[in-house]
Chain A
Amino acid sequence: MSIDISNLTVTYGAENVISGLSLAIPEGSFFTLLGPSGCGKTTLLRTIAGFVKASGGSISFSGRDVTKLPPHRRDIGMVFQDYALFPDKTVFQNVAYGLHARGERGESVARKVGEALERVGLGHLGSRHPAALSGGQRQRVALARAMVIKPQVLLMDEPLSNLDAKLRIQIRETITELQREANITTVFVTHDQEEALSMSNLIGVMNRGAVEQLGTPQEIYARPRTGYVADFVGAANRLPVRLRPAEAPLVEASLGDVAIFATDAMAAPAPEGLLILRPEDLKISAAPQEALQSMPATVRGRQYLGSKTSYRLDLGEALQVVAELHGPGHDGFAPGDRVSLGIDSALARVIAA
């Protein structure tokens, strides 16, 4: 089931939360809406579910227009942040609920519920009430409940954010396995970039009610098209630069009195741009390194993080960047040290300011 959203507008009172958004989600894909709170990602998900009414535009599932369809007739499965298990019903009754609502009775219900619970590793807990389960178990029940009805579309609203870090990684795997097996088109909402990168095959980064960039995890991380995306997915130093043409695919970017070559990632040539430098792509050494463009810098501060050390560097003229060193001796520099900052022109990218 593919999802096609065309020119969608959602209004709360006088405010447009989403205006004129269009998006195509291919059949069977694991699509993630990534963005900070308030960016409209949950509103978009709830509009796809039908809990929020679209004030303009349309949503269709594989060509069938569902814009006016009430949520209970959209054939969706939904997983909520707070699990939303029915507290008065047992695990079995929770999972059976959607089948009963579809008029299924007896033997087939018991078999399907059993299989669904088995699949999430909770086959033995059917008679418990939600209150007697751990957070991770509850989320698994919620998952089984949404999957057992074999919905056309699976919608998940930050389902992992109430779990602790280890559990989150476990359930991530359960979710992606289940999704691949059933091949259900899935829309997953999160503000956690790691979740988005590890689980999805397509990510939409949202900002102020619009999808700012759509792409595979690799595209989003390695080739952010805007400063917002670069900063939200992973960390990035964003430096305004003046530009001069150079041999394609490079461009010459000047930072104050120093100039470096960087990859040109702009749609059209412009006199000014934004230089994007990922901290982990920067090298620090006592003396300039061969094969890298170098810039003199002074260490201002550092944070020792165990597997790596993060340095704050002064490039002069109130220009600061953050660089991370990994590997042996990564904590070898101290504040006050004068160092050489090495930049690989293939990893430094210039985008439109």
Chain B
Amino acid sequence: MSADSIRSPWFWLTALALALLALFVLYPLLSIVGGSFSGEGPSGWAQLVSTAKYREAVLNTLILASSVTVICTLIGVPLAYVTARYSFRGKALIALLPLITLVIPEVIAAQTWLMMLGNNGLITKFLREFGIRLPSFYGWFGLITSMSFIYYTYVYIGTVAAIGKFDVQLEEAAQSLGTPPGRARLKVMLPVILPAILASALLVFTMTVGNFAISIILSHGMPLLSVATYQAAVSEGTTSITMQSTLASVSVLIVMSVLFLNRWIVSRGRYEIVQGRGARPVPLEGLRGLMVAAPAGLVVAISLLPLVTIALGAFTKARGPVMQWGTWTFENLERVFVTAPGPLLNSLLYAGIATFISIAFSAVVSYLVVKKPNVLTTWVDYISAIPLALSGTVLGVGLLAAFNGGWLPLTGTSAIIVMAYVVRRMPFGMRNAQATLHNIPNSIEEASISLGSPPVRTFFRVVLPIMLPAVASATILTWTTTVAELSASILVYSGGRETLPIQIFRLIDSGLMAYASAYGLVLVAVILIPVILANRLFGIDVFSSK
């Protein structure tokens, strides 16, 4: 390393970023791995192998993740194909609405599925009157159904993007060489978009493995990895962390191996589309249009069910756990805003601070990584991507293990909740900021410097203003995912610091669906209002960067 780079302010900023990442990402991760070998008696790994419940949890999780991945691909790919290549009535709606499911918190999705199909659910009761008995929604049926109708969105988005980039001239070339249109599409397009499909399918796999909210609400005694980790953490507390650490490590191992598999697929299957001419969607009319639109519309309608249900539930009277459908009240919402506004205020405060820290950190650190690389920036880049491989539950366990007592006792403070939010969501902000910075040519900065502006002032006067629209959209995206965060915060929060998702979870756990709906409706509003405002006022398309 040359003396010049040590003298520059960028080097010291990078060192600071690296120190923060080591403290809040590496240290918790190492605490988990270390914790699995600590404690008295047999090590966590020995217990894992010898206990049937834990073995089942791992196996169930893998089966669940595989099934959800397959179903999501079967829903997401055809939906993406028809919206990318055909036009039909209602297509605009069908193309847009899946994106909204991204911002519906999982805990609300799980809740509304229960309200519809649970033992006491609206549809269950309705069908029962006709003598039809549905299988219990708890367990496999509910888990697979509800996760599939959320996570197919990721396959849909990934595939739409890949088809959009596909050069339709390749298809025409295949046809000119004598291949019939249908076969041409299959033989030419499929291999090119396959890596994107696989990558998004693997993303679904890892998200299912890490899923906490739906798993704990719907598993009902069926062992699952994330639930078992959470339960171990709750029962062990912070004095002995052997089992929670072991289970968390297993989850990290699974996700890591999937990510490596993904990397391998992407590196093998990268085809450069040299020049692209996108396909013009073929209009479908009459019966054929209906045949495409109806199933696509059904999928979208089902995935939007949660919104409708909580909107109804929030205004429905309830006596304890029994919903009195058809009778209306403002009581539930009154509770959210007047009687017990704590969760709302906590959510706004914690998520607000976390979003600010996360975006500021991402902007500065991405700038260092992209524009001022030095010996340390590679490490900053790697370590800041680690949280992508950590589920919320794992992160919660790690933060508890690392900051319980010791020289930095954060357990029981609001700071640890904010920290959990920041660490979980920061990698998304980083990716967004890095993509933006790659699009700003170095010559822009050099132009400013050549005109007499020193480097640091150049960052604030030239680079930051250009990044601003992207930063704004990243801010809103970070906000939407942070305010909905449950799985890490539920492990690290303490009494009086409940957030909206935590409160909703606790109410569902007690069966108080009406109250849960009211908090849920407010949570959805808190998420959607900024998205809509940004779009209407500033023309920011939040989802374009997703």
**Which residues from 164 to 216 on chain B have a C-beta closer than 8 Å to any C-beta of chain A?**
none
Q: How far is the CA of A73 from the CA of B452 in the complex (A)?
A: 6
- Asked whether B466 lies within 8 Å of A98 as measured between CB atoms, the reply is no
Residues of A within 8 Å of B448, CB to CB, are 86, 97, 101
What sequence of 0s and 1s flags, for each residue 355-380 of chain B, a beta carbon within 8 Å of any chain A beta carbon? 00000000000000000000000000
- Asked whether A84 lies within 8 Å of B453 as measured between CB atoms, the reply is no
The chain A residue sitting closest to B464, CB to CB, is A88
Q: How far is the CB of B1 from chain A (nearest CB, A)?
A: 13
- Asked whether B465 lies within 8 Å of A88 as measured between CB atoms, the reply is yes
Q: Does chain B have a CB within 8 A of A304?
A: no
- Asked whether A149 lies within 8 Å of B452 as measured between CB atoms, the reply is yes
- Asked whether B452 lies within 8 Å of A102 as measured between CB atoms, the reply is yes
- Asked whether B465 lies within 8 Å of A84 as measured between CB atoms, the reply is no
- Asked whether A72 lies within 8 Å of B453 as measured between CB atoms, the reply is yes
- Asked whether B450 lies within 8 Å of A71 as measured between CB atoms, the reply is yes
Residues of A within 8 Å of B457, CB to CB, are 101
- Asked whether A97 lies within 8 Å of B453 as measured between CB atoms, the reply is yes
Q: How far is the CA of A51 from the CA of B466 in the complex (A)?
A: 22
Q: How far is the CA of A78 from the CA of B443 in the complex (A)?
A: 10
Q: How far is the CB of A153 from chain B (nearest CB, A)?
A: 10
Residues of A within 8 Å of B455, CB to CB, are 70, 72
Residues of A within 8 Å of B462, CB to CB, are 86
Q: How far is the CB of B210 from chain A (nearest CB, A)?
A: 39
Q: Does chain B have a CB within 8 A of A224?
A: no
Q: Does chain B have a CB within 8 A of A76?
A: yes
- Asked whether B452 lies within 8 Å of A72 as measured between CB atoms, the reply is yes
- Asked whether A53 lies within 8 Å of B451 as measured between CB atoms, the reply is no
Q: Does chain B have a CB within 8 A of A77?
A: yes
Q: How far is the CB of B444 from chain A (nearest CB, A)?
A: 5
What sequence of 0s and 1s flags, for each residue 449-477 of chain B, a beta carbon within 8 Å of any chain A beta carbon? 11111110110001001101000000000
Instruction: Count chain A residues whose beta carbon lies closer than 8 angstroms to a beta carbon of B.
Output: 29
Q: Does chain B have a CB within 8 A of A140?
A: no
- Asked whether B451 lies within 8 Å of A145 as measured between CB atoms, the reply is yes
Q: How far is the CA of A89 from the CA of B455 in the complex (A)?
A: 18
Q: Does chain B have a CB within 8 A of A80?
A: yes
- Asked whether B452 lies within 8 Å of A75 as measured between CB atoms, the reply is yes
Q: Does chain B have a CB within 8 A of A332?
A: no
- Asked whether A86 lies within 8 Å of B446 as measured between CB atoms, the reply is no
Q: A87-B466, A88-B465 are in contact. Are A80 and B447 (CB under 8 A)?
A: yes
Q: With a 10 A CB-CB cut-off, give which of B446, B447, B449 has the most chain A CB atoms.
A: B447
The chain A residue sitting closest to B2, CB to CB, is A53
- Asked whether A71 lies within 8 Å of B449 as measured between CB atoms, the reply is yes
Q: How far is the CA of A219 from the CA of B35 in the complex (A)?
A: 78
Q: Does chain A have a CB within 8 A of B272?
A: no
Q: A53-B4, A102-B452, A149-B451 are in contact. Are A78 and B465 (CB under 8 A)?
A: no
- Asked whether B443 lies within 8 Å of A82 as measured between CB atoms, the reply is yes
- Asked whether A70 lies within 8 Å of B452 as measured between CB atoms, the reply is no
Residues of A within 8 Å of B447, CB to CB, are 78, 80, 84-86, 142, 145
Q: Does chain A have a CB within 8 A of B441?
A: yes
Q: How far is the CB of A316 from chain B (nearest CB, A)?
A: 45
Q: How far is the CA of A267 from the CA of B183 in the complex (A)?
A: 70
What sequence of 0s and 1s flags, for each residue 131-150 of chain A, a beta carbon within 8 Å of any chain B beta carbon? 00000000000100110010
Q: How far is the CB of A150 from chain B (nearest CB, A)?
A: 12
Main secondary structure of the interface of B (DSSP, over half): helix
Residues of A within 8 Å of B453, CB to CB, are 72, 97, 101
Q: A86-B466, A87-B466, A88-B466 are in contact. Are A80 and B451 (CB under 8 A)?
A: no
- Asked whether B441 lies within 8 Å of A84 as measured between CB atoms, the reply is yes
Q: Does chain B have a CB within 8 A of A254?
A: no
Q: How far is the CA of A158 from the CA of B454 in the complex (A)?
A: 24
- Asked whether B443 lies within 8 Å of A98 as measured between CB atoms, the reply is no
Q: A80-B447, A84-B443, A86-B448 are in contact. Are A72 and B454 (CB under 8 A)?
A: yes
Q: How far is the CB of A191 from chain B (nearest CB, A)?
A: 18
Q: Does chain B have a CB within 8 A of A81?
A: yes
- Asked whether A97 lies within 8 Å of B446 as measured between CB atoms, the reply is no
Q: How far is the CB of B450 from chain A (nearest CB, A)?
A: 4
The chain A residue sitting closest to B462, CB to CB, is A86
What sequence of 0s and 1s flags, for each residue 79-114 of chain A, a beta carbon within 8 Å of any chain B beta carbon? 011101111110000000110011000000000000
- Asked whether A82 lies within 8 Å of B450 as measured between CB atoms, the reply is no
8 Å CB contact of A80 from B446, B458, B468: B446
- Asked whether A77 lies within 8 Å of B450 as measured between CB atoms, the reply is yes
**Which residues from 1 to 22 on chain B have a C-beta closer than 8 Å to any C-beta of chain A?**
4
Residues of A within 8 Å of B446, CB to CB, are 49, 51, 71, 78, 80, 84
Q: How far is the CB of B445 from chain A (nearest CB, A)?
A: 8
- Asked whether B454 lies within 8 Å of A70 as measured between CB atoms, the reply is yes
Q: How far is the CB of A138 from chain B (nearest CB, A)?
A: 12
8 Å CB contact of A81 from B443, B444, B451: B443
Q: How far is the CA of A84 from the CA of B458 in the complex (A)?
A: 13
Q: How far is the CA of A121 from the CA of B183 in the complex (A)?
A: 58
Q: How far is the CB of B74 from chain A (nearest CB, A)?
A: 43
- Asked whether A72 lies within 8 Å of B449 as measured between CB atoms, the reply is yes
- Asked whether B454 lies within 8 Å of A49 as measured between CB atoms, the reply is no
Residues of B within 8 Å of A49, CB to CB, are 446, 450
**Which residues from 222 to 240 on chain A have a C-beta closer than 8 Å to any C-beta of chain B?**
none
Q: How far is the CB of A57 from chain B (nearest CB, A)?
A: 17
Q: How far is the CA of A15 from the CA of B457 in the complex (A)?
A: 32
Q: How far is the CA of A89 from the CA of B453 in the complex (A)?
A: 16
**Which residues from 12 to 54 on chain A have a C-beta closer than 8 Å to any C-beta of chain B?**
49, 51, 53
Residues of B within 8 Å of A80, CB to CB, are 443, 446-447
Task: Return 17 A-B CB contacts under 8 Å, by A number.
Answer: A51-B449, A70-B454, A72-B453, A72-B455, A72-B458, A73-B452, A77-B451, A81-B443, A84-B441, A84-B446, A86-B448, A86-B465, A87-B444, A88-B468, A97-B451, A101-B452, A155-B450
Add 19 more A-B contacts to A70-B455, A84-B447, A85-B444 (CB < 8 A).
A51-B449, A71-B446, A72-B450, A73-B452, A78-B446, A78-B450, A81-B443, A84-B441, A84-B446, A86-B447, A86-B462, A87-B444, A88-B465, A88-B468, A101-B451, A101-B453, A102-B452, A145-B447, A146-B451
The 9 A-B residue pairs with the shortest CB-CB distance in the complex, in nearest-first order:
A98-B451, A84-B443, A78-B450, A84-B447, A101-B452, A80-B443, A101-B453, A88-B465, A72-B449
